[in-house]
Structure 1
């Protein structure tokens, strides 16, 4: 027992030393109008992330968050340009309206500052293409963060699918939705732009349809859909007078089909995924629960249920991913959910979905 005490002190000392040697990623925050902004303030409490500046002209909003999270108003600036000049962040995270993502990249890319935005990448394909061109020209990383990128269940589903266990993919169904932003009580600053067709690009189609397009692109290794067919409705015009609140998008591929269900009308919040192969099916019911059913006869099946631990670092958290990519500790796969390649195709899909919903016709994507 006498030897164990010095040993414990040695381990404690080594861990303390390791944490003390962490050089935090200096992050600038562009905007505070997104309901997910709390994530970056939570990350700021870790030793590997430091918020050095915030660009937010709404002083009342900034003061609210500063007080809530113990942030000095000395690092809050009215403009992104001033914040970058005064604080010199390594990367900027976008937490404003999706429409402003382009402006963030226009300002950051020429300065060599990396960018991560909340999903989706942009409000339109034209915005996305300009962002991509700037990112490549100035050699910055441009990431898009989706909550479902952290899900251990989705990672395991990808692994099982690509192992060949359920055979070749025939159908993917992705469902994402809740009761609607107003009914779940999002902040007024978030609700204002989320239900604005210019600032958000659409309603539920953009807010939740992007998840399915992102996951389908990843699961199918970057395949381009042959066609996109979408139907949108406005089932709750009182809460969502300017945008759709119900969307179903069908993507056809040469050998499979993806159905994306996006809703602001569901009684229960849902983010799930189903993959149907020739010999079995995978069901990711939420972030940590997975079921695999292998076919037996006509309607029979054997089922394996899994409860999964969090994804391993850095993929358990978006800011860990950002740090690892910026510091060149990891390299994203070409069609990783965070990747620019994936999210450019997502924007092609969403643009085609909006066109299809407006015209009532199937839109065929050009071949590349």
Structure 2
């Protein structure tokens, strides 16, 4: 894999502002020492009404902008960050790989296994790496949990219980509730973050049985919402470890924070709970309740890992294979919810 020496700037192209995380990544990268940033969001320029996107958002963020993906890739980036709608990841990732750029891709990897595998294969063939944007992997709380599990402090790992709940994103990014672009609803949006942490704790082991139930009770009166808004996923792994994930759009719009992820690890010798977004102070601001995070900037920590890998030419984690494994769990859960049956994998 090609390394970028410290003697020159790393050229990073941010492809699409469709995902709201792009609004955090862009200013971080623009101010990052030793990084040159170029952005593009051609679909956003023609999106019409809705959240600010395209050149208008680039101007507001104060970042360099071009009108097409082709121009951004012709610039010769060392790396790209893909923040498009989930169903459009494949085209952008494979184009970036063909241009010789390393890739940081928003989650989930894709909406189908075929697309996900094509992305992994394209990056491997081009000799570039593919990293998944799973920032919670970089939280100090998770690192502490992982060290305890690896050291055997908890004994045999019996069960993992995760939650990833938040506000429905229909107002800010309505494509999240369009199954054709997003792949699904709350299950597709939220399960993967917890699944990534579980993948790391279990060294890439995959579930042998998956059961899921979903509903659309929440936000049932909103005609824009065409996907599940509540989901519960259960899985069993070889060796007997069980997993449960509550992944619902259950926080009201008036909540002071977007949501939060938690994970409990239950072992034969102990229990550890982590709440990476739990450190905060509350108060009032602007006529409403304020929620100010005190936790580590996980986007910055993730980007730091990605950029270090670009400079060194070393494969970062979590990689595309992790993306495929977490996608398989989500797709198995979708299938179980649709059929009412347990999905078994040998």
SS at match of 2:11: strand
1:111-152 superposed Cα distances (whole Å, 9 cap, x missing partner):
211111111111121211111111111111111112312311
Match of 1:129 in 2: 117
TM-score normalised by the chain length of structure 2? 0.84
Separation of aligned partners in 2, 1:104 and 1:315: 21
**What is the rounded CA distance, in whole Å, between the counterparts of 1:320 and 1:22 in structure 2?**
17
When residues 121 and 163 of structure 1 are mapped into structure 2, their CA distance, relative to the original with a 3 A threshold, is same
Matched position secondary structure for 1:58: helix
Where do residues 225-304 of structure 1 align in structure 2 (5 Å cutoff)? 225-235=207-217, 236-239=219-222, 241-254=225-238, 255-267=240-252, 269-287=259-277
1:341 paired residue among 321, 325, 332:
321
Number of equivalenced pairs: 312
- 8 Å CA contact 2:39, 2:63 repeated in 1: no
- For 2:87, the equivalent position in structure 1 comes to 99
Say if 1:343 and 1:64 are closer, same or farther in 2 by CA, change over 3 A. Answer: same
1:82 is aligned to 2:62? no
Out of 274, 297, 302, the position equivalent to 1:318 is: 302
* RCO higher in structure (CA 8 A, sep ≥6): 2
Corresponding position: 1:203 with 2:203: no
- After superposition, the Cα gap between the structure-2 partners of 1:147 and 1:238, relative to the gap in structure 1 and judged at 3 Å, is farther
Instruction: Report if the CA contact (8 A) 1:22-1:47 is conserved.
Output: no
Q: Distance in 1 between matches of 2:41 and 2:299?
A: 27
Residues 355 and 363 in structure 1, CA contact (< 8 A), matched pair in contact too: yes
CA contact (8 A) 2:264 2:274 kept: yes
Asked if 1:362 is matched to 2:346, the reply is: no
* Partner deviation per Cα, 1:172-226 (whole Å, 9 max, x = no partner): 01100113224xxx52xx22x1011011000001110111221111111111111
Q: Which residue of 2 aligns with 1:41?
A: 26
Q: Deviations over 1:85-117 (max 9, x none)?
A: 1x2111111111011110012211122111111
Superposed displacement of residue 22, structure 1: 6.3
Please give the TM-score of this superposition, normalised by the length of structure 1: 0.79
Secondary structure of the equivalent of 2:18? coil
SS in 1 for 2:21: coil
**Taking structure 1 as reference, are residues 362 and 204 closer, same or farther at Cα in structure 2, changes over 3 Å only?**
same
Equivalent residue in structure 2 for 1:59, among 45, 54, 79: 45
State which structure, 1 or 2, has the greater radius of gyration over its C-alpha atoms.
1
Q: Is the 8 A contact 1:150 1:316 kept in 2?
A: no
| RMSD of equivalent CA atoms | 2.2
- Contact kept, 8 Å, 2:277 with 2:295, in 1: the verdict is no
CA distance in 2, matches of 1:232, 1:361: 13
